[in-house]
Amino acid sequence: MTADAPKILDTSRDFTLRVGDFEGPFDLLLHLCRTNEIDLARLPVRTITDQYLAHLEAIEFRDLEAAGGYLVMAATLIYLKSKLLVPPDPSEIEALDEEGEALRLELEERLRAYARVKGLGAWLAAREAEQALLWGRPVGALPPLEEVPLEDLSVHLVERAVRRLIDEQLRRRPREVEPNPPSILERMTEILTLLRDAWSLLFSSLVGGERRRSEVVVTLLAVLELVRLGRIRTQQTELFGEIVIERQTGETHAGSN
Amino acid sequence: MPAPIDILEALLFASDTPLEPERIREVLELPGVAAARELVEALRSRYADRGLQIVEVGGGYRMVTRPELQPWLVRLTRSRTKQRLSRPALETLAIVAYKQPVSRPEVDAIRGVNSEAVLESLLERRLIRIPGRKDAPGRPYLFETTREFLVAFGLRDLGDLPKVEGELLVPELAVVAEHGEAEAQQDPGPGGADVPAGS
C-alpha cells in the first residue's frame, strides 16, 4: 500500500506522519482526495479506504482522544468497503445498497463542507497576512468599564484567569541571592542576647520588616536549635499565628516543645 | 473654530476603535450620516499620498499605516507583535463566521475533531464571543464573531466574507489551499526578507 502513498509524504520522514500534520479525519481524507485528484462528488470507496488505513498506520497518535475521530472514520470507510466486497463488482462504478449509498453521500457532503471551511480558512489567513501590514492605534488593553460586554464573559474564562494567576504566583519564587546569608549561630546568639533583657520576643520582630525568605529560614532554624538545646521555649497558639519566644527558666523544660 | 475636516482627522488619530459615521456625525454635530461620510472622503483624498491611510473596517473608519511601510514599523518595534492564528484557529473562525451563532457540537461536527481548546483561545483573543446558549439538549454555548474579528481581518461587515453558497468548486479551492500552504511556509520571517537593506 505504501507505493500508493502520495509523493509529498514519502521523503525524509519514513512514512511517519505526526497527527499534528492533519487536523482531523476529514483533513486527512481531504488530503488523500487532493493528492489523488479525486472528485469529491464521487468518492471511490475502495481506493480511499485502503489509502486512509495505510496512512492511519503511519500516524503516531499522542493520545486516545486524538485517535478516536480517526478510528471512527476508519470504521465508516471499512463498513462502506465491506458492502462493496461481495459480490466484487467488475465494473468501475462502485455500487452500494441504499444504506451504503446514503452513508457515502453523507460522507461526501461532510467532506465537501470541510473542504469549504478549509478554503475559507486559507482565505482568512491571506486576509490576516494582508492586515498584518497595516498598523493602527493599538486597542487599549482594557476597554472602559462601562463598555465591557458582559455577554463576552463566561465562568470558564474567569476560572482560566484565576488559574493563570495562581500559576503566576507559584512561579514567583524568591529571586534574590544574598551575598552573605545570615548565619544560624549568629542569629542564635542574637536571640539569647535579646532575651537577657526581655521575657519574651515575637518571632516577627526578629525577622525584620522585609521578611526576606532567607531571614525567616535562618531565624526559624536558630529558634528550633535553641529549643532543642533547651535555652528557650516557644508558643504558637494558632496555625500560622505569631510565635512567642520565651527564655527557658531553670531546668524544667520537660513539658515544653 | 477649527475646520470640521481637521477635527475629524484628530478623532481618527486618537480613536483606538473604528469610528462609526454615526459617531462622527454626533461629535461634529453634522446634519446627517451622509455628511459624515463625505467628510471622511474629503479627508481621504488629503491622505492620498501620505504614510497613513483611512480604511473602513468593522462598521467604522480607522487610520492605519500604508502596507508598504510595514518593514520600517517592524524595525521600530524590533519584533512582530502581531501573532498569526494557527490553521485550526482560522478554520474554526471561518465556521463561526459563516454559521453564527453556532454551538461547539456543530463546529466539532464540521471539523471532525474536538474544538474546545481552539474556541477558547479565540474567545480569549476576543475574535469570538458567547451571545448566549442554544436551546438544545445540554444547552451548549453559542459563539459568534466580534467587531474585533472584522477589524483584525479588515472586513467592513460580514458581507465582505466570500460567498460559499451551493456547491464548492474544488479546483479553485485547491489553488487557494496551495496558496495558504505557501503562505505558511513563509511564516518564519515574513517581514525579515522584505526589509530594505540600505536605509
Q: Is residue A110 situated within a structural domain?
A: yes
Whether the per-residue pLDDT at B118 is higher than 70: the answer is: yes
Test A117 with B95 for CB contact under 8 angstroms: yes
Best mutation target among A39, A59, A131 (most B Cβ atoms within 10 Å) is: A131
Are A125 and A230 found together in one domain? no
The interface residues of chain A toward chain B in range 86-125, judged by CB-CB distance below 8 A, are 110, 112-125
Q: Cα(A121)–Cα(A86) distance, rounded to whole angstroms?
A: 41
Q: Cα(A160)–Cα(B112) distance, rounded to whole angstroms?
A: 26
**DSSP assignment of B47-94:** TTTSSEEEEEETTEEEEEE-GGGHHHHHHHHTS---PPPPHHHHHHHH
Note whether B66 and B164 are within 8 A (CB): no
Dig out the grid coordinates for A171 from the structure: 512561579
Are A35 and A124 found together in one domain? yes
Give the domain CATH number at A241.
1.10.10.580
Note whether B62 and B14 are within 8 A (CB): no
Whether the per-residue pLDDT at B122 is higher than 50: the answer is: yes
Are A124 and A8 found together in one domain? yes
Which residues of chain B are within 8 Å of residue A139 when distances are taken between CB atoms?
16-17, 148
B189 versus A205: the higher-pLDDT residue is A205
Q: Is residue A147 situated within a structural domain?
A: no
- Which element (helix H / strand E) includes B189? none
What is chain B's Cα-based Rg?
A: 20
Are A7 and A126 found together in one domain? yes
Are A9 and A102 found together in one domain? yes
Q: Cα(A192)–Cα(A232) distance, rounded to whole angstroms?
A: 8
- Return the axis-axis angle of helices A64-85 and A98-131, rounded to nearest 10°: 140
Q: Which of A92, A111, A131 is the last residue of a domain?
A: A131
- Show the domain range for A85: 2-131
Q: What is the pLDDT of residues B33-85, one digit of tens each?
A: 999 999 999 999 999 889 999 999 988 999 999 999 988 888 887 766 567 88
pLDDT for the residue B135: 85
Best mutation target among B13, B77, B90 (most A Cβ atoms within 10 Å) is: B90
How much is the mean pLDDT over chain B? 79
Dig out the grid coordinates for B124 from the structure: 480569549
Give A123→chain B minimum CA distance, Å.
Answer: 7
What number is the ipTM of this complex?
0.73
Test B120 with A156 for CB contact under 8 angstroms: yes
Q: What is the pLDDT of residues A208-257, one digit of tens each?
A: 666 677 778 888 889 998 988 888 888 887 777 788 888 877 554 444 44
Are A109 and A227 found together in one domain? no
pLDDT for the residue A212: 73
Q: Is residue A179 situated within a structural domain?
A: no
Are A31 and A121 found together in one domain? yes
- Which element (helix H / strand E) includes A200? strand A200-202
Q: Is residue A254 situated within a structural domain?
A: no
Give B70→chain A minimum CA distance, Å.
Answer: 5
Note whether B43 and B4 are within 8 A (CB): no
Q: Which of A68, A97, A131 is the last residue of a domain?
A: A131
Are A34 and A115 found together in one domain? yes
Note whether B195 and B70 are within 8 A (CB): no
Are A6 and A127 found together in one domain? yes
Best mutation target among B139, B153, B163 (most A Cβ atoms within 10 Å) is: B153
Say how many residues make up chain A.
257
Which residues of chain A are within 8 Å of residue B162 when distances are taken between CB atoms?
120, 123
Q: What is the pLDDT of residues B156-196, one digit of tens each?
A: 988 888 887 653 333 222 333 333 333 333 333 333 334 34
Are A105 and A192 found together in one domain? no
Q: Is residue A38 situated within a structural domain?
A: yes
pTM (two decimals): 0.59
Are A88 and A188 found together in one domain? no
pLDDT over 90 for what percent of chain A?
1
| Cβ-based neighbour number of residue A87 at 10 Å | 7
Q: Cα(A15)–Cα(A175) distance, rounded to whole angstroms?
A: 47
Q: Cα(A96)–Cα(A18) distance, rounded to whole angstroms?
A: 33
Dig out the grid coordinates for B36 from the structure: 459624515
What chain B holds in terms of domains, given with CATH numbers, is 4-70 (1.10.10.10), 87-165 (1.10.10.10)
Domain count, chain A: 2
Q: Is residue A47 situated within a structural domain?
A: yes
Q: Is residue A25 situated within a structural domain?
A: yes
Angle at A14 between CA A10 and CA A16, to 5 degrees: 95
Q: Is residue A167 situated within a structural domain?
A: no
First to last CA, chain B: 41
B102 versus A45: the higher-pLDDT residue is B102
Note whether A59 and A17 are within 8 A (CB): yes
Test A133 with B70 for CB contact under 8 angstroms: yes
